[in-house]
A = this chain, B = another copy of it.
Amino acid sequence: MSQPIVYGPSFSTYTRSVRLALEEKGVKHQLVEIDILKGAHKQPPYSSKQPFGKVPAFEHDGNTFYETSAILRYIDEVFPKPPLMPSTPAARACVNQVLSIVDSYGYTPSVTNLFIPRVLVPSLGGETDLEKVEAAKAPAALFVKELERLLGNTNQFYGGATVTLADLHVLPVLTYLVATPEGKAIAEGAPNLRGWFSRMQKRPSVQAMMPS
C-alpha cells in the first residue's frame, strides 16, 4: 500500500484530526501544506481535489476524496489496528453523534467566532471583533455542555474505554477553544471534559501532531 497524503494546513483542526488518526494507527503519511492564508485552498491544483474550498483533502491507493469525517472512517477501516470505533451500535452512535456535533455546532462558535478573532487575528496584527466573540459565548457553552454530558463521568473516552474517532475530532477544536479566555472560562464548568483533556494531552499521537 502507498503512503497516504494529507493536503491541508497543519494548524487546521480538521487536518489535525486526520493526522491524529493516522498517528494512532502507526501509519506514516505525507503532508502537503496548503497555505489557506494565501487562498491556496480556493485555487488549482488544490481545488481539483476539494471544489468547496475547505481543507483537508486525502489521497491513498488511488482514492482521492475529502470531508474529514469520511477520511477518518476510511482510515479506521483500511488500517484496522487499533480500532478507533467502539464495537456496539449504541457506542458507535455516540461516536457518530459527537463527530457530527463538532461539525454542526462546535466548529463555528469555537474556532471561527472565538479562536480566530481572539487569537489568530491579533497575531496577524488585526483587531478582535468583540461583537462576534460575545455572540459566540452561548453556542460555545452549549457545545461544551453537550460534550460534557455525552462523555459522562465513567467513560475514559467518547464511546468507552479506548480512544475513538470522536476524541480525535473533538480535541483540536477544544484546544483552540480553551486558548481563548472565554473558552477557558466555559471549560471550567466541565470537569469530565477537563479530565479527558488532560488524558488526551499525554497521548504520543497528540504530542507528535499537536506540539504546543
Chief secondary structure at chain A's binding surface: helix
Give the number of copies in the complex.
2
CA A56 – CA B182 in complex, angstroms?
A: 30
Q: Which residues A58-73 have CB closer than 8 A to chain B?
A: 63, 65-71, 73
Contact flag A96-B67 (CB < 8 Å), given A51-B142, A104-B103, A145-B51 = yes
- Check if A89 is an interface residue, CB within 8 A of chain B: yes
Query: Is there contact, CB below 8 Å, between B93 and A65?
Result: yes
Indicate whether A137 reaches chain B with its CB closer than 8 angstroms. no
Distance (Å) between the CB of A148 and the closest chain B CB?
12
Chain B positions within 8 Å of A52 at CB level:
101, 104-105, 142, 146
Interface string of A58-98 (1 = CB under 8 A from B): 00000101111111011001100000000001101110110
5 closest Cβ pairs, A-B complex: A70-B96, A67-B100, A70-B97, A74-B93, A77-B89
A-side residues, CB < 8 A to B, are 51-52, 54, 63, 65-71, 73-74, 77-78, 89-90, 92-94, 96-97, 99-101, 103-105, 142, 145-146
